[in-house]
Structure 1
């Protein structure tokens, strides 16, 4: 994958920036020697053997990692290796991937891609893959420190051009300082390093399927503006391109429904100690069906406030989001039939609806009865969102199955 050199972002940003080329070999060597990382891979790939003969499986995994990553001497080379593996993986866990809109982006120009957020690792990976297909440089990826509870996860993410969002800070002054550093780093990436940035439209995944841009995110982006500058003046400098990422099936759908049910029933949800890592793994290796990634147009309007800017981003994401068969079927399970949704269904002539219904039934059968409405709602909400915005229109005609 094309990657630009990191020519800045030192000193002030050292705690949060991605790794530089000159750090890659040492980080890879550290990962290969990290027993916890090796044991995690062993548990995910060869659980019974790892439990029975851990001393036997560790050197095999270390050897495989050395062969796979040992030749990477730069971020670009690391991402090229990851890109090859990602494409092979998608051949197994996806039924086709469609990219659109990236061909309209200019080469040698940095953008701030703001996308909906359904999967921790795959959302930015799919955006980067779409850019790579057009010969464009990959992005620097914003990732919360709540996901980096293990040293090896931090190393892996920062090798892949991720920078850290300090969400765990609770002190108000420290939190403001961290947000200012984050805002400054994004601006530095775009304007000084000439590096595009990916950031989710909200903090955390949209587990309920409602893709809404948080105004706090947009305010953070202009946190370092001059006092005399208005929000609109500072925001206009940002080359924001909304992106819609759509998966036919969510590998974490049952887990998300369980969390939503717990929050609804008790008001709290206690995550397991390594639940985020498990979600990352399941999101990467679980079956996704058809995937579409659609890039919108760069925002050029003047926005008086964060609320109007958020609405503009949301509108593009709604307009460009591919409504999959799973979404339409889930909406009909919850709400019955409507002329508008029936028209949406009729437009998707390539879908085997009986087969999709069977797949939905099979997934639903794995979910406790009490969770099923929330499970269906997460799939149905993109349809409802489209209806709320475009009640008298039909969506874009999109290919795929």
Structure 2
């Protein structure tokens, strides 16, 4: 039988061995791993270590014969990553959901790789099956990255297609794959919008929801009937500190001033690595409630329901208050919301000032607005 999803789906168990052999032989991957493992070491030393590292990586990977075993091999790496880059990870809401059901997790989107990592980490820690992950093809230009992501249950969203008719066909196929996953009992994670909310204003794009419904239209289902089969659940992800805060602010300022922003060729990969390894402080993952039938009548109603749950699950932290206090202090002419100052935010204010140092005023203000976003008035749609 033809595998109509072969080029977008995650790798199957029978493909794992060949993919791992490719990765173990990759000079680029081994070089990146050595730099991460031994930061600051001389290039000559890292070069000398390459043969040994190739051998060690090949020895570890050749024992892995399935996607599940690969994820179990990754587990201690994720644990170490979180120990180094977070102060605490809090997860709530799964206790109110049925682990026997497949869900479509629809979350806000703050970090390219950490968001799905935190979803699957939270599920695994609770004894749930991990979910399949929607990831844009713009992030898979590097073949090593593509291999690792598809080994880790990621499937491809083809965003880069320009032809409208071809793009629609790919969206229909993507919608079919997500429905196929649900019917297999496999949960799926997808962000509420294409691209990260760089200004930290979380708003669901109805285009994402309409894509989810495309396959149902082929079955003559209503929008609500299709969504009931997918069992969508909103999820809120919060990071106290954003390792990419300066990069995001600079991009927002460039777009505001010039109308456009051109990414460097390796910018997405650098953002992935920075987001994974940078300090995030407190992290909170809140799983919400399955959306009710009355909230699934059309894309607009569903988007509003997702936005409401994500907003209600989000918490106000001292870093948000500290950012607002600095905005009020440094740009007093602006009509900022009122804030009851207190000693609890003093330390966060100092940390923010350290992160702001060396940046132009316009980027400093954008960074502060991003951190203060939960306390600022919503952006008009």
Contact 1:142/1:197, CA 8 A, preserved across alignment = yes
- Helix, strand or coil: the match of 1:258? helix
Deviations 1:113-148 (A, max 9, x none): 000001111111111111112110000000000001
8 A contact 2:86–2:282 mirrored in 1: yes
- Find the aligned partners of 1:386 and 1:369 in 2 and give their Cα distance: 23
Q: Match of 2:154?
A: 162
1:83 paired residue number: 75
Match of 2:213 among 222, 229, 236: 222
| Aligned ranges 1:87-126 → 2 under 5 Å | 87-126=79-118
Q: CA deviation at 1:352?
A: 4.3
Give 1:270 deviation, angstroms: 1.4
Q: Does 1:331 align with 2:324?
A: yes
1:103 deviates by 1.6
Q: For residue 11 of structure 1, give the secondary structure of its aligned residue in structure 2.
A: coil
Are the equivalent residues in 2 in contact too, given 1:32–1:66 (CA < 8 A)? yes
Inter-CA distance 331–354: structure 2 relative to 1 (3 Å threshold): closer
SS in 2 for 1:236: helix
Unmatched 5+ stretches in structure 1: 1-7, 389-401
Match of 1:380 in 2: 372
- Match of residue 34, structure 1, among 5, 26, 39: 26
TM-superposition CA deviations, 1:142-182 (whole Å, max 9, x none): 00000011100100000100000000111111100100010
Cα distance in 2 for partners of 1:279, 1:124 equals 15
Are the equivalent residues in 1 in contact too, given 2:209–2:299 (CA < 8 A)?
yes
Question: SS of the counterpart of 2:217?
Answer: coil
Q: How many residues align?
A: 372
Q: Normalized against structure 1, the TM-score is what?
A: 0.87
CA contact (8 A) 2:179 2:215 kept: no
Higher mean C-alpha displacement, 123-132 vs 59-68: 59-68
* Aligned mates of 2:68, 2:39 — CA distance in 1: 32
Check if 1:320 corresponds to 2:313. Answer: yes
- 2:185 pairs with one of 172, 183, 194: 194
Contact 2:86/2:283 (8 A) holds in 1: yes
2:195 aligned with 1:204, yes or no?
Answer: yes
**TM-score normalised over the length of structure 2:** 0.91
Deviation at 1:294, TM superposition (A): 0.3
Shift of 1:38: 2.0
* 8 Å Cα contact 2:323-2:371 kept in structure 1: yes
SS in 1 for 2:282: strand
How far the C-alpha of 1:308 sits from its partner, in A, is 1.2
Structure 1 Cα separation of the partners of residues 358 and 158 of structure 2: 36
Give the equivalent residue in structure 1 for 2:133: 141
CA contact (8 A) 1:39 1:50 kept: no
| C-alpha distance after superposition, 1:285-304 (max 9, x if no partner) | 00000000000000013233
Could you tell me whether the CA contact under 8 Å between 1:49 and 1:57 is conserved in 2?
A: no
Aligned equivalent of 1:25, options 17, 20, 23 = 17
- Structure 2, unaligned stretches of length 5 or more? 330-335
- Seen in structure 2, the aligned counterparts of structure 1 residues 366 and 197 have a Cα distance that, compared at 3 Å, is farther
